[in-house]
Structure 1
Amino acid sequence: MGPGRRWVRAAHTALSAALLLGLLLHRTDLQKQEERGELLQPLIFVLLVLCSVLLYFKVSLMDPGFVKPEEEAKEGENKGQGVVIPQIPGDIKLRRCGYCLVKQPMRAKHCQLCQHCVRRYDHHCPWLENCVGERNHPLFIAYLSVQLVVLLWGGHVAWSGLYFEQSWEWLQHNIFLLVSFLLIFIFTIVVLLLLVSHLYLISCNTTTWEFMSHHRISYLRHSELENPFDQGIILNLWRFFCARRLTAWENIYFHKNSEPV
């Protein structure tokens, strides 16, 4: 783990802790509930913040779906390690990556920041300092969902502690909550847009990379279908959230393209 990655993750943890402590220690609804002995909502809020931080580290530290060299993949599968590698028919030829020289499954892309090819590559997230790919994408959605709930609740709590007067003392007493509310508002917009856009792409069974670079990706450019991986919203969502194995996208691609139009 490089120093840049440690810095980003430390910043995320410090920011989450600072906002949590600030909202609990200032005169907000949460503090008033604590004083009355009503601890359920403060406890749930703290647990949600902890859950969001744990999900952040889980997604940022886990293997997003790095493509292993053939020898390593077979050895890991024989030992029962990791996820079972999908079998691809012998008549389908996989291209080799020009950077790491592994056989690249369909929908995989080489990330120059991670120095690996990633299965069903979506994007490299600078805030996670990790790629979002086939293995960690569902958890990424879970993280965004929990984070959005925390931000919406945190924004409400910060606003509840503000009181408005036209004096210098007002700013002194409210500066932390005011800055917290503005930060939370900005983060809420970003997370909401991310979550909505990802859910839309997932429902279509496409990725951020494929959506943005459709005209440059050979298997999409040469396909007779606009999206050869789309199997309908219900099956797309089920495959994304419930499938336990990596998918051989080549099978779906060639099956869909061979169907009569």
Structure 2
Amino acid sequence: MVQSMFRPGFLVRATHTLLTWVITLKLFLHNTDLRRCEEEGELLLPVLFLLVVVLSVLLYFAVSLMDPGFVLSDTAKGSTEEMESMIPESATPRLRRCGYCLLQQPMRARHCQTCNRCVRRFDHHCPWLENCVGERNHRWFIVYLVVQLLALLCALHIALSGISPSVSWELWFWSNGFLLAVVGVVSVLSVVVQLLLGCHLYLVSVNCTTWEFMSRHRISYLKNCGDEENPFDRGVFCNLWDFFCICRTVMWEKIYHKSVQDSV
């Protein structure tokens, strides 16, 4: 993990951390609800806000440094070939070998050219995390988005509470300049995170990935399906339960074959 921290993404992670703590520190130092609560001895709001910020930073680094589900080797090749021999070739597209790392790709895996690795149940490569989002860290990515959105909304409320009136626009702008900048940055980030969270919750509820949603017409196991057909969709409740509560590697070829059989 220490070596991963100093990969090329170190600058992005350092920028994220620095921006988070600069905004947090300024919100504590300005005349906001946080400072007024401290002066009055009411520490519940400051402590809760600080805990949410710390948790968001910890989740950011956990998701950023976590193995997203890299395909490491062909150790499961024997069992895969045995499974393929039991499934008619016409029913399930044969597994392909990656043209970059030459490993056999499980269904729903994709090679990320930024990470130069194949990732199981590949969703997307996140430049803000400098890591892929895949089978092993996708659920934690969504948890991070929830906590990050909560931290941003709290910061927005606190920043607005510190904006004070003044006798002229010029004096008002100079006295509230930093808080106005915080409101602007936090508002934009809140909208972005909210849109990301909504999109990912929808995709998870139908058991689809960002890559599959955007490139459906180019994916061998989806391009022959109908526009509304998803061979991995088991219903909203089952999809959400499997995604958030079942921590295991899934052999998607079997689920795909079963879906094809049921549809025939």
Q: TM-score, normalised to structure 1's length? A: 0.91
* Whole-angstrom CA distance in 1 between matches of 2:149 and 2:243: 20
Q: Which residue of 1 aligns with 2:90?
A: none
Check if 1:115 corresponds to 2:119.
Answer: no
1:103 counterpart residue number: 104
> What's the counterpart of residue 29 of structure 1?
33
RMSD value, Cα: 1.9
| Alpha-carbon displacement from aligned partner over 1:71-94 (angstroms, at most 9, x marks no partner) | 4x79xxxxxxxxxx9997242642
Partner of 2:57: 53
Deviation at 1:223, TM superposition (A): 3.4
Candidates 64, 68, 89, aligned match of 1:64: 68
Q: Does the residue aligned with 1:95 lie in a helix, a strand or coil?
A: coil
Q: State how far apart, in whole Å, the 2-side matches of 1:171 and 1:222 are.
A: 59
Structure 2 counterpart SS, 1:124: strand
C-alpha deviation, 1:172, in angstroms: 1.9
Task: Classify the secondary structure of the residue corresponding to 2:198.
Answer: helix
- Select the residue among 186, 190, 200 that pairs with 1:198: 200
How many equivalent residue pairs?
A: 250
Distance 2:169 2:260 in 1: 69
Provide the C-alpha distance between the structure 2 equivalents of 1:244 and 1:9, rounded to a whole number of angstroms: 27
Q: Partner amino acid for 1:47?
A: L
SS in 1 for 2:125: strand
Give 3-state SS (helix, strand or coil) of 2:122's partner: coil
Look up the equivalent residue of 1:145 and give its one-letter code.
Answer: V
Distance 1:241 1:38, change over 3 A: same
- 2:83 is aligned to 89
1:240 positional shift: 0.5
Q: Kindly indicate whether the alpha-carbon contact (under 8 Å) linking 1:223 and 1:257 is maintained by their aligned counterparts in 2.
A: no
- Contact 1:88–1:251 (Cα < 8 Å) also in 2: no
Which piece of structure 1 moves more, 221-230 or 142-151? 221-230
**Residue aligned with 1:181, SS:** helix
Name the amino acid aligned to 2:30: H
- 1:122-133 equivalences in 2 (<5 Å): 122-133=123-134
164, 175, 178: which is aligned to 2:177?
Answer: 175
Q: Is the 8 A contact 1:86 1:246 kept in 2?
A: no
Deviations 1:14-38 (A, max 9, x none): 0000010010100001110010000
Q: Would you say 1:220 and 2:222 are equivalent positions?
A: yes
Confirm or deny: 8 A CA contact 1:88 1:248 kept in the other structure.
no
SS of residue in 2 equivalent to 1:117: strand
Distance in 1, matches of 2:12 and 2:122, equals 22
- Following superposition, the deviation at residue 68 of structure 1 comes to 1.0
TM-score, with length taken from structure 2: 0.90
| Alignment partners' CA distance in 1, 2:101 and 2:188 | 38
Counterpart for residue 82 of structure 1? none
User: Retained in 2: the 8 A contact 1:30–1:42?
Assistant: yes
**What are the superposed Cα offsets for residues 138-171 of structure 1, whole Å, 9 maximum, x if unpaired?**
0000000000001111100000000133243222
- The gaps in structure 1 that reach 5 residues or longer are 75-84
Contact kept? 1:204, 1:230, Cα under 8 Å: yes
Q: Which residue of 2 aligns with 1:149?
A: 150
Gaps in structure 2 of 5+ consecutive residues:
88-93
Residue identity matched to 1:89: M
Identity of aligned residues (%): 55
